[in-house]
Every structure is written in structure tokens, then in C-alpha cells.
Structure 1
Amino acid sequence: MKSIIQNIVSLLAGLMFINAGLNKFFHYMPIPDDLPEQVVNMNAAMAEIGWLLPLVAIAEIAGGMLFIIPRFRTLGAIVLFPVMIGIILIHLTVAPSGLPIAVAIFLVLLWAMYDQREKYLYLVKMDSLQKN
């Protein structure tokens, strides 16, 4: 049962990241009128750096796709983690209205990472770096 619930919430979180990434390329979602001025300025600054938004979009799309597939969820979580840290920081500092959904998605990401923690521990074990 736990695996079914985790697959469903991972699917929803992955689709949200894919949607956010695709929107950065195709601009199909309307921009809310009540965005704080700091968010508008920050988005304009990121758009001014020509490579930044496409990079974040590709990370969101690729990470979201990997996060949906159980076999690659660990890799998807690694890709999405820095993006999610940025999202949390933005909502903590300038746009607190979106914080609840950002925290919910972050918790899904952390749950998936905790569930697969032995795969991450292998990356940092000193034993794995030494040859016999």
C-alpha cells in the first residue's frame, strides 16, 4: 500500500515539475496579476540571463520524468533537489502564499529520498572509493 501511495504522490509531484518546466518554454499559463514586485523583478532578472531559465526548465522536465518512474526516482530526486531548495527559498523570502504547496512537494521529495537512502549512502561511502 505504501508503494502505491508513494507512486501516486510521486506521479503528481513529477507532473507538477514537468508542467512548470514546459511553461518556462511555452508560456501557456497566465501570470497572476497579484505577484509581489520582488517576484516580478526576480523573474525579469532570470530572463535577462539567457541560459538560466532554459537550464532550470530542462532540470524540471528531466527530473520530473525521472521522478515519476520508480526505477529512476532516486536520480530524479537528485536532479530536483536543488530546484526545490530554490523554490522553498523564494517562497520563504518573497512569496509566502505559495509556501504550503512548495513544502508539500518538498516533503514528497524528501520522503522519496529517505525511502531510497541506501542508494544515496553508497555515493558517499569511503569503502566504495577504495579498490581491493
Structure 2
Amino acid sequence: MKIVKGIVFTLFGLMFINAGLDKFLHYMPIPELEPEVLKAGEAFMTITWLMPLVGAVELLSGLLFIFPKTRLLAALMLFPVMVGILLHNAVYMPEGLAIAGVLFLINLWVFYKNKEKIKGLMG
């Protein structure tokens, strides 16, 4: 089970490293988008600091997620990004909801495994 967890967490981290790097290097192809999705993307791009910030959080969190000692910090950093990804997929791209849901559950799994540490953050 420990090996499976290590593989799952490493793949999770690598997915966010990839997503973060793409926000800076733009190497992944962009599929044909519906006009509504394209309009939303263009709106986000008008906030010039937003995508670099999200990319930096994804990149750093992806790196931190791979290592057990920093995994909780990475999960906390990624939580708002994951909520945004889930909402975006639910509203604009429901076909991506399955993978977004699985990633969100992995993030929640880290919270559950560290619930005693998180209690101190909740006051």
C-alpha cells in the first residue's frame, strides 16, 4: 500500500508541476474551445498577474506534494486552486469533472491523513 500511495502522490505532484510549467512555457496544445469557455479564459487573461500566480502555486505545490514532509503544506496551497478547477469543470467542461474530482479527493485524502495537524489551524 505504501508503494501505491507513493506512486499516486508522485503522479499528483507531477500533474501540477506540468500544469504550472505550462502556464509559463505554453507547450501543451489548446483544444478547440466553446465560445463561452474561450470568453472566460480571455477574461482571466486580462488579469495579467493571475495565471502566473496560479502557475507558480501549481509548480511549487506539485514539487512539495511529492515529498511526505511537505505534502500537507502542498495540499493546503493547492486547495483553493483545486476548488477553482472543480468549479470550472462543473460549469464549462463537465467532461473533465471526473479527473478533477479524483485529484480533489487525493487532496482531501492528505487532509484526512493529517487531521490532527490541521486541528491547530482551525483555532
TM-score range, shorter chain: over 0.9
Instruction: Specify every segment of 5 or more residues in structure 1 that has no aligned partner in the other structure, as ranges.
Output: 126-132
In structure 2, the residue corresponding to 1:124 is in which secondary structure?
A: coil
**In the alignment, does 2:61 pair up with 1:66?**
no
Deviation for aligned residue 1:39: 1.7
Instruction: Give the one of 104, 107, 114 matched to 1:106.
Output: 104
Distance in 2 of aligned mates of 1:119 and 1:6: 20
Query: 1:1-132 counterparts in 2 under 5 A?
Result: 1=1, 3-33=2-32, 35-125=33-123
Distance in 1 of aligned mates of 2:34 and 2:95: 10
Is the contact between residue 14 and residue 65 of structure 1 (CA under 8 Å) also seen in structure 2? yes
Q: Displaced runs of 4+ in structure 1, greater than 6 A? A: none
Number of residue equivalences:
123
Is the contact between residue 77 and residue 112 of structure 1 (CA under 8 Å) also seen in structure 2? yes
Percent identity of paired positions between Structure 1 and Structure 2? 50
Letter of the structure 2 residue corresponding to residue 48 of structure 1: T
Distance in 1 of aligned mates of 2:98 and 2:108: 15
Deviation for aligned residue 1:36: 2.1
Letter of the structure 1 residue corresponding to residue 107 of structure 2: L
> Structure 1 length as normaliser, TM-score?
0.89
Deviation for aligned residue 1:5: 2.0
Deviation for aligned residue 1:124: 2.3
Is the contact between residue 22 and residue 57 of structure 1 (CA under 8 Å) also seen in structure 2? yes
Structure index of larger Rg: 1
Instruction: Specify every segment of 5 or more residues in structure 2 that has no aligned partner in the other structure, as ranges.
Output: none
Is the contact between residue 74 and residue 119 of structure 1 (CA under 8 Å) also seen in structure 2? no
Aligned residues: CA RMSD: 1.0
